Structures are given as structure tokens and as C-alpha cells.
């Protein structure tokens, strides 16, 4: 499952990385303090095109979506819903802090 995630940006880099590389990259909480947390970190590192099931705070039914993008500036996560009535699929945008569960393949 590691191949579904990108390397870099503090995405599960080894704690034994050199001090020069760790000083040149800053953590999620330093760059965007209100955009921190488990699911924000997971989605920040996820490769676009990966199918995920997302449970959202206040919504009873989880959604199976295709991950498209993560915005570090806004905490917005963009997904494509292939089951939409439109030929290209609908676009779903969520705040990563509103996600309460995330399943990453296989489906």
C-alpha cells in the first residue's frame, strides 16, 4: 500500500533523515497550523487517482471517491465522484479536518 503515497513533505519520511533535509522541510503544523491532523497528513501524501472511501463528520453514509488534489493553503481536498450523473463525474470538495474515517483501497 506504500505505493499509493508520495514521498516527501514529511510524508512518512524516516526519522533518521539527515539534519539538513529535515531543516529544509517544515512540518504541516508549521506551514498551516489549522490544517493539521491524521487525515490531512494522509491526504497530503496520497497520489491523485487513488480510490478512497471517506466518512465525513455529520454524514451517516461514507462516500467512495477518487482523490484528485490536496491544497495546503486551504485544507481543501478535491475528489471526483465517478457515479455522478454527469459524463465526467461530479467534483466533491471537503475540508480535510471534517473527515472522520478514510479507507484507501483495495476496492
Phi, psi of 87 (to 5 degrees): -60, -35
Phi, psi of 63 (to 5 degrees): -110, 135
Phi, psi of 20 (to 5 degrees): -65, -40
Residue with cell 471534517: 98
pTM of the model: 0.68
CATH number of 2-104: 2.30.30.100
What is the structure's pLDDT at 99? Answer: 94
**Weakly modelled stretches of the chain, pLDDT under 70:** 1-34, 82-89, 107
Cα(91)–Cα(37) distance, integer angstroms: 23
**Domain range annotation of the chain:** 2-104
Amino acid at each position: 500500500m506504500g505505493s499509493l503515497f508520495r514521498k516527501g513533505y514529511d510524508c512518512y519520511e524516516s526519522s533518521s533523515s539527515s539534519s539538513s533535509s529535515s531543516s529544509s522541510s517544515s512540518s504541516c503544523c508549521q506551514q498551516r497550523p489549522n490544517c493539521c491532523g491524521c487525515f490531512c497528513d494522509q491526504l497530503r501524501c496520497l497520489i491523485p487517482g487513488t480510490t478512497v472511501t471517506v466518512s465525513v463528520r455529520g454524514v451517516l453514509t461514507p462516500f467512495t471517491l477518487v482523490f484528485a488534489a490536496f491544497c495546503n493553503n486551504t485544507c481543501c481536498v478535491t475528489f471526483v465522484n465517478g457515479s455522478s450523473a454527469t459524463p465526467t463525474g461530479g467534483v466533491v470538495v471537503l475540508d480535510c479536518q471534517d473527515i472522520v474515517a478514510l479507507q484507501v483501497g483495495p476496492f
